[in-house]
Structure 1
Amino acid sequence: MPTPNPAALEFLLTRRSRPAKTLTLPVPEKAALMPILEAALRTPDHGKLEPWRLIVLDQAKLAQLGDLAGQRAQALALDAAQTEKARFQFDTGQLAIAVVSSPVEVAKVPQIEQVYSAGAVCLALLNAALAAGWGANWLSGVMSHDRGFLSAGLGLQDHEALAGLIHIGTEKFAPPDRPRPNLEEKVIWPSA
């Protein structure tokens, strides 16, 4: 018989991301952030390739990225509303972790599995921050797909992509739960 962990299961059944716009100071200091990062890197990883890396972005770096997002928005001819949206998470963020998908060229592990592993790091990081008592949110946005922004702002190489930005902080208030998927509509039990 398996040994259950009811507290872990209850956490997963009730976990709720905290909208980034509701996060404020304080944010975890390095000592508090280290176990969260360590937990995130325990993600499934076919071939032990570690096809990802993390970049810790403090408020000063986020402000720089907000300025760059504004410049890139102008270069991409985005309108004022799109530009504001592109800048928002950088202008208002206090701490974020950029999860970079950095696939390795190997024959036995398809690149898509490595990309999935980077996505798993995002979710593990999000859940570890929440389990540690912080508010956290996984965001992307238009700048997450702009090669000029990624290379100039985060130093990504041509083969790399941004899997997500995980914002972490203290939540101003707990958001209401949102509707969840209907298991009857999403789960199939095929018969033999």
Structure 2
Amino acid sequence: MLTRNDAALEFLLTRRSRPAKTLVAPAPTRAELAPILTAAARTPDHGMMEPFRFIVVKKGAMARLATLTEEAGVRLGKSDEDIAKARSQFDLGHLAVVVVEVQKDSPKIQPLEMTYSAGAVCLSLLNAALASGWGANWLSGWMSHDRGFCEAAFGLAENERIAGLVHIATEGPVPPERPRPDLDKITTWVEA
């Protein structure tokens, strides 16, 4: 017999990220963030390898990350507009959880499966924050793919990279609904 969780299904059918630039103080406390991180860590991880970890960035660290973003942008030859846009998530940020993908040696689990798991953690973290009543947005950006930034900002090891930065704070203005995928265009049914 099927057991439906209509509240969970309704949440998933109506969930909506909140743009990071619309998030306002306060951000969750350590105690408020703990169940959100716990929910995110329950993501399937292909062999119980835990190919991910969290770095919680609080308001006091945001200015340093904005500066490191600008320095990386100059080093990479990014335009002033690209630099301003990339650093804005830190200039305006209140709290962000960096989901770090950790590649681990395994004779059975392919590296791509670990990448999938870290991405699933990002979505679970985002949904757990939204379900808890916070506004949240999953971002990345060119700086999150730059080795120099990753090492200077977060001390990432060679086998680690940023899967996403999930900004979490109080929901500001509610954005309008956006168009969603047309299921008929993106779904193929195989019956034989």
Q: Say yes or no: TM over 0.5.
A: yes
Contact 2:104 2:159 in 1 (8 A): no
Q: Say if 2:23 and 2:169, in contact at 8 Å, map to a contact too.
A: yes
**Unpaired stretches in structure 2, ≥5 consecutive residues:** none
Mark the runs of 5 or more structure 1 residues left unpaired by the alignment: none
Cα deviation code 1:131-186 (max 9, x no counterpart): 00000000011111110000010111112110000000111111111100011111
Specify the SS of the correspondent of 2:32: helix
Structure 2 residue identity aligned to 1:184: D
Query: What TM-score does the superposition give when structure 2 sets the normalisation length?
Result: 0.98
Show the counterpart of 2:70: 70
Separation of aligned partners in 2, 1:181 and 1:49: 33
Aligned length: 192
- State the distance in 1 between where 2:98 and 2:154 align: 8
Aligned twin of 1:107: 107
How far apart, in 2, do the equivalents of 1:55 and 1:191 lie?
45
Matches within 5 A, 1:18-167: 18-167=18-167
Give percent identity, aligned residues only: 56
Amino acid at match of 2:16: R
Q: For 1:79 and 1:185, how far apart are their aligned partners in 2?
A: 37
Inter-partner Cα distance in structure 2 for 1:141 and 1:36 = 23
TM-score (norm 1): 0.98
Q: Which residue of 2 aligns with 1:177?
A: 177
Q: Secondary structure at the match of 1:46?
A: coil
Q: Which amino acid aligns with 1:143?
A: M
Q: Counterpart of 1:27 in 2: which secondary structure?
A: coil
Following TM superposition, by how much is the alpha carbon of 1:191 offset from its aligned partner in structure 2, in angstroms?
2.5
- Deviation of 1:85 after TM superposition, in Å, equals 1.4
Deviation at 1:76, TM superposition (A): 1.2
